[in-house]
Amino acid sequence: MPPASSVRARIEQIDRRNVISAGSTGLIEHLPCGNVRKCVYSDRDYEVCLRDLEREFRVYQKLPQHDRLLQLIRYSPEEGLVLHDLKPENFLLDSNSRLKIIDFSGSSFDGIVGSAIESTRFFLPRPLKEPPAVRTDLFALGSTISEIMTSRPPYDDLSDDEVEARYSQQIFPSVQELPCGQLIMDCWRCEVQTAEEAMKRLKAELESALAASDPASSCRSSPPTTRP
């Protein structure tokens, strides 16, 4: 285990222009070789930060490498993973547009409850003492898909308090006109039970939306007409 002094020196050497994200545990640095590296904060509880970082390493070691979010995140007793902080900010794309998820340090894994919690617009209303679970990640998935489709977080024009109040009353942004709008709403209403279910619906709804927007597709599916 490196001493806290060496960690502090490493943090101080980071070029802040290369920092692409930051969380409760440390900074994510983009290296010249194209990789990313997380450095724990030097001014916080070093043991706690290091513990979270070690948990994150175990998650990366166990999960398969896959560029499809919902196949990477499999909710099952065997995997034992709840992300806690699912949001687009924690997604990276490499040079081949493959998805990389970051910041597992606060996740629940192998029976150990993590320390992270969702951001306001990704937070399923519940008592704060209630730990994150599959349904809280799936609620956050709804907000994640919404932000991807609109390029804006849900209710980004409202304060956090206003968002919490609306979510608590089951009042969500209108997503009816969005691709996958029904899936988004069902995630918010906790009517989606598993990531596998979400994946199947996401694929089907995207294919339907693409087909509807492709004039050639509608021409191919239309029966030939004959002149009288």
Q: Is 58 exposed, middle or buried (0-12, 13-18, 19+ CB in 10 A)?
A: middle
Model-level pTM?
0.69
Q: Which domains does the chain have, with CATH numbers?
A: 1-115 (3.30.200.20), 117-211 (no CATH)
- Residue range 87-116: mean pLDDT, rounded: 73
Mean pLDDT across the chain, nearest whole number? 75
Q: What percent of the chain has pLDDT over 90?
A: 24
Neighbours of 30 (CB within 10 A): 16
Predicted confidence (pLDDT) at residue 75 exceeds the cutoff of 60: no
Predicted confidence (pLDDT) at residue 143 exceeds the cutoff of 60: yes
Model confidence at 12, in pLDDT bands (50, 70, 90)?
A: low
The strand pair at 19-22 and 26-30 is best described as: antiparallel
Q: List 22's β-bridge partners, or say none.
A: 27
Model confidence at 6, in pLDDT bands (50, 70, 90)?
A: very low
Amino acid 220 reads R
